[in-house]
């Protein structure tokens, strides 16, 4: 999608949502959907339900839009590449809208999706605050959507509507509690630590901050002397860490929330001769970060598998077009990830995740194409929104209650059944060798 052509015709995008939803998320009457034509949304319905649902695949080639942050970041570039590869394998037409972290730009692209003939969207919301509005736009247009990484707390797909198929994210607090704990243990449980987070307002940033804070409570002799927002960017992080190293020349460790910032951090440490003395941990597991583990400049990095991420959610769109209906538990999921903490594991992970070909079979992920032997290619588990967002109770809208499907015995049974089902279907793990090369065995961090 190269351009967004707007017309003067405007339709209230929230006419299909309840008044509670509109008021709850502060979405005023100015939220409108411009139509540039009379193309119909093509999300098809079918007879399937739950993980075993599905039917004969349609021969129709659906138009899929991939909407995300930026292409000048290898993580997102790999995510995008895998989404495109999965679309090709599943006979879908690829379109892209890169927001460059601009909320209005992403909103404009999604408002025009219907007019452009888009049937489905895979996306990373540009912020948690705008997520309900973006998914509301798509739901009103009957465009199936899968959203990753950023989601407003206490906003579930069931609150938005049936076309919001799935929200997926790693367990942010748990993963960065693990990353921080590895650093604190490496420091012998004491020392001065600097933390560089990403962008305030992104839910994954809030989650990673919470994880580090939880770990710090268990290490009373660890002093986090400074926390600064590094914008997920080496260019933003570099001058910040240079200033902090002047203020805290005796720092023992640095927690970086992503590898791009870590590149800038290591550059600053090298200039001062502090690299390999100051212990650095990071996140994302991208090639430059992996190389820094190999060189000994970085101790560990959380790997979250972008080559799997993009394609997996494309397979969910394919199944939805062909009648698969996810249960409530299948609509809010964590995916397995682990910490890489050895040079050999870093080298192996780089070959698998960032090689010339992807190690995943997107058709095999499909419940429709493989009703009996589908394989997600990674550990996938449902998460309980009440438990997951408990640490953000203050963000719960007044008088809001989770949908009934996420409460009580019915929810507990759905969650348990789905957890077991998806685990039993995870057979082919292309990262098994990488896991064995990690010093801690690299078990998936889910809870």
User: Tokens at residue 56, please?
Assistant: 């004969």
What separation in angstroms does the CA of 250 have from each of 56, 226, 368? 64, 13, 58
HSE (side-chain half, CA atoms, 13 Å) at 313:
35
- Distance separating alpha carbons of residues 279 and 299, to the nearest angstrom: 6
φ and ψ at residue 180, rounded to 5 degrees:
-65, -40
Residue whose tokens read 């959203």: 147
DSSP of 62-79:
-EEEEEES-SSSHHHHHH
- pTM recorded for the entire structure: 0.85
Low pLDDT (below 70) residues in the chain: 1-56, 441
Residues of the chain with CATH 3.40.50.2300: 10-170+305-342+357-430, 173-303
Q: Which two tokens stand for residue 413?
A: 């049974």
pLDDT tens figures, 57-104: 777 899 999 999 888 888 999 999 999 999 999 999 999 999 988 899
Give the pLDDT of residue 441.
66
Topology of domain 173-303, per CATH? Rossmann fold (3.40.50)
Q: State pLDDT tens for residues 7-17.
A: 222 222 322 33
Q: Between β-strands 120-124 and 222-229, what pairing exists: parallel, antiparallel or unpaired?
A: unpaired
Superfamily grouping for domain 10-170+305-342+357-430? Response regulator (3.40.50.2300)
3-class secondary structure, 343: helix
Residue owning tokens 């490496």: 186
Per residue in 395-409, pLDDT (tens digit) is 999 999 999 999 999
Pairing of β 63-68 and β 32-34: unpaired
């Amino acid at each position: 999608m190269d351009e967004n052509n707007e017309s003067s015709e405007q339709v209230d995008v929230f006419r299909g949502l309840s008044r509670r939803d509109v008021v709850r998320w502060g979405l005023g009457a100015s939220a409108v959907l411009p139509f540039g034509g009379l193309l119909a949304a093509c999300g098809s319905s079918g007879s399937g339900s739950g993980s075993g649902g599905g039917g004969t695949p349609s021969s129709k080639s659906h138009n899929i839009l991939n909407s995300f942050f930026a292409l000048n970041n290898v993580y997102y570039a790999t995510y995008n590449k895998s989404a495109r590869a999965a679309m090709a394998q599943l006979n879908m037409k690829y379109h892209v809208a890169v927001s460059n972290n601009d909320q209005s730009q992403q909103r404009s692209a999604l408002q025009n999706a219907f007019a452009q003939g888009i049937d489905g969207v895979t996306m990373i919301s540009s912020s948690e605050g705008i997520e309900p509005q973006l998914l509301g736009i798509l739901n009103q247009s009957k465009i199936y959507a899968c959203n990753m990484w950023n989601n407003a707390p206490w906003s579930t797909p069931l609150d938005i509507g049936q076309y919001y198929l799935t929200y997926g994210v790693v367990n942010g607090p748990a993963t960065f509690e693990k990353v921080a704990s590895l650093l604190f243990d490496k420091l012998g449980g004491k020392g001065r630590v600097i933390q560089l987070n990403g962008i305030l307002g992104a839910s994954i940033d809030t989650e990673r901050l919470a994880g580090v804070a939880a770990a710090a409570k268990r290490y009373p002799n660890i002093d986090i002397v400074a926390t600064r927002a590094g914008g997920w960017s080496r260019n933003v992080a570099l001058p910040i860490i240079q200033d902090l190293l002047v203020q805290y020349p005796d720092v023992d460790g640095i927690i970086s929330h992503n590898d791009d910032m870590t590149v800038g951090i290591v550059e600053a440490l090298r200039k001062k001769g502090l690299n390999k003395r100051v212990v650095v941990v990071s996140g994302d597991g991208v090639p430059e970060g992996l190389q820094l583990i190999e060189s000994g400049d970085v101790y560990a990095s959380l790997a979250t598998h972008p080559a799997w991420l993009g394609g997996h959610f494309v397979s969910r769109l394919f199944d939805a077009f062909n009648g698969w209906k996810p249960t409530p538990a299948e609509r809010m999921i964590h995916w397995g990830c682990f910490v890489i903490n050895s040079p050999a594991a870093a080298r192996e992970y780089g070959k698998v995740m960032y090689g010339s070909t992807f190690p995943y079979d997107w058709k095999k992920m499909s419940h429709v194409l493989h009703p009996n032997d589908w394989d997600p290619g990674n550990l996938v588990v449902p998460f309980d929104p009440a438990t997951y967002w408990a640490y953000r109770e203050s963000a719960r809208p007044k008088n809001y209650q989770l949908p009934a499907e996420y409460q009580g015995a019915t929810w507990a049974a759905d969650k348990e059944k789905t957890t077991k089902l998806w685990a039993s279907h995870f057979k082919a793990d292309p990262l098994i060798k990488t896991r064995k090369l990690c010093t801690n065995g690299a078990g998936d961090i889910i809870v």
